[in-house]
Each structure stands twice: as structure tokens, then as C-alpha cells.
């Protein structure tokens, strides 16, 4: 059972990373981009859910929480692009509650990590739980604003969509190329080649957020 889940996890991650890179490179708004986006969404959701189960079985709390974070971000990103119905979506509140549970989980294990060695909690120290916990907390604060506002600019919606899609891609890419560097030829790790895809995703995230932020003539959207 665990082996089958691991194979599914690897397959979903591979498809998700390829689809994510394709979505970055393709012209935005086209039908092909939308189809690739759906592929990315579904594969990342499978990656996250399978990751949660595997992490529970292997007792790796950070991976368990990060699997949940991937699911939370890609689902809320998808809801965001449905501008006319997004704030009224019936999944907003459950997703928000799930996000709160993630923050509580990161906070709890941060506290545990302060008093434990990394080996006792899956190999990660308090810093890792703090970083991802703060990112989740920021996403939740953004959700509160999004749900309470009657009008939201298309710029804000697009930025929300972009970072919630690209950050999970960054997590997955870093997990494969840096977290599993031992699976690649040693030369690639030694000369820094494995950093290239990770840096590419990070720079793409920053590029699109800056580009959208400085574009003018964004209308407001009634939610």
C-alpha cells in the first residue's frame, strides 16, 4: 500500500512539475494554458494528499503539514480565478478552517521542535516549521480580506492566484532537485546545476508578481 502511494506521489510530482513549468512558459489566457493549469492543479492535489499519508506513515510532521499546505494553496488559487463567484464559494470556509488547522499544526510542532532534536521529529528543526507556518498565516490573513471585501481589484486576484500556484511549484521543485539530490549524478549537485530549476521557479514567481503589480488599468471585480 505504502509503495503504491509512493509511486503515485512520485508520478504526481513529476507531472505537476512539468505542467507547472509549461504553464510558466506558455502564453497566458490561451486554452492550452488553461488545460495545463488544470493538469497542474489535479497533479499537485494528488501530490499533496499522497504526501500527507506517506508522511503520517513515516512520522515526518513537516512533510505532512506541507502536503496539506500544497493542497490548500492550489485549491484556493483555483477559486481565486473564478472572480464572480470566488468569495461566495461554498469551499471558502472549509478551506479557511483547514488553513487554520495547518497554522495550529505548524505552531505545535514549532514548540515541540524547540525542545526536541531534529531526529525526533522527522529531521527538521523549529526554523522550518516557523517559515511555513508564517507563510500559511499570511495566506489566511489574505483570505480574510478576500472574503470580507465586496470588491477586489483584478490585480489583487491575479497576484493571489499566481503566488498560490507558483509557491507549491517551488516547494515541489526544491523537494525533488535539492531534497533528493542524492538521486541525481553527483556532478550536477557539485556544480550547482540542481539549483537552476528551483531558482527559475522562484524568479518566475517574483517576476510575475512584480509585472502584475506595476501594470495599470485594473478594474475592480464585484464578488
**pLDDT tens by residue, the chain, 223 residues:** 788 899 999 999 999 999 999 999 888 777 888 899 899 999 999 999 999 999 999 999 999 999 999 999 999 988 877 655 455 555 677 888 999 999 999 999 999 999 988 888 888 999 999 999 999 999 999 888 877 776 677 788 889 999 999 999 999 999 999 988 888 888 888 888 999 999 999 999 999 999 988 876 554 544 4
Looking at residue 33, its pLDDT comes to 83
> What is each CA distance from 215 to 84, 133, 141, 201, 211, in whole angstroms?
22, 31, 24, 21, 6
Looking at residue 223, its pLDDT comes to 47
- 0.85 cut: is pTM over it? yes
Amino acid at each position: 500500500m505504502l509503495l503504491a502511494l509512493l509511486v503515485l506521489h512520485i508520478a504526481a510530482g513529476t507531472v505537476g512539475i512539468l505542467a507547472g513549468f509549461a504553464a510558466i512558459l506558455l502564453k497566458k489566457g490561451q486554452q492550452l494554458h488553461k488545460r495545463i493549469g488544470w493538469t497542474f492543479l489535479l497533479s499537485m492535489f494528488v501530490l499533496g494528499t499522497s504526501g500527507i499519508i506517506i508522511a503520517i506513515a513515516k512520522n515526518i510532521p513537516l512533510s505532512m503539514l506541507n502536503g496539506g499546505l500544497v493542497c490548500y494553496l492550489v485549491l484556493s488559487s483555483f477559486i481565486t480565478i473564478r472572480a464572480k463567484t470566488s468569495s461566495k464559494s461554498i469551499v471558502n470556509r472549509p478551506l479557511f478552517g483547514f488553513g487554520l488547522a495547518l497554522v495550529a499544526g505548524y505552531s505545535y510542532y514549532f514548540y515541540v521542535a524547540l525542545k526536541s532534536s531534529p531526529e525526533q521529529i522527522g529531521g527538521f528543526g523549529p526554523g522550518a516549521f516557523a517559515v511555513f507556518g508564517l507563510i500559511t498565516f499570511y495566506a489566511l490573513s489574505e483570505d480574510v480580506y478576500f472574503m470580507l471585501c465586496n470588491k477586489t481589484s483584478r490585480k489583487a486576484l491575479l497576484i493571489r492566484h499566481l503566488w498560490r500556484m507558483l509557491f507549491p511549484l517551488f516547494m515541489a521543485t526544491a523537494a525533488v532537485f535539492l531534497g533528493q539530490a542524492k538521486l541525481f549524478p553527483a556532478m550536477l549537485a557539485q556544480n550547482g546545476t540542481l539549483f537552476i530549476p528551483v531558482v527559475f521557479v522562484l524568479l518566475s514567481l517574483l517576476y510575475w508578481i512584480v509585472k502584475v503589480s506595476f501594470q495599470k488599468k485594473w478594474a475592480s471585480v464585484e464578488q
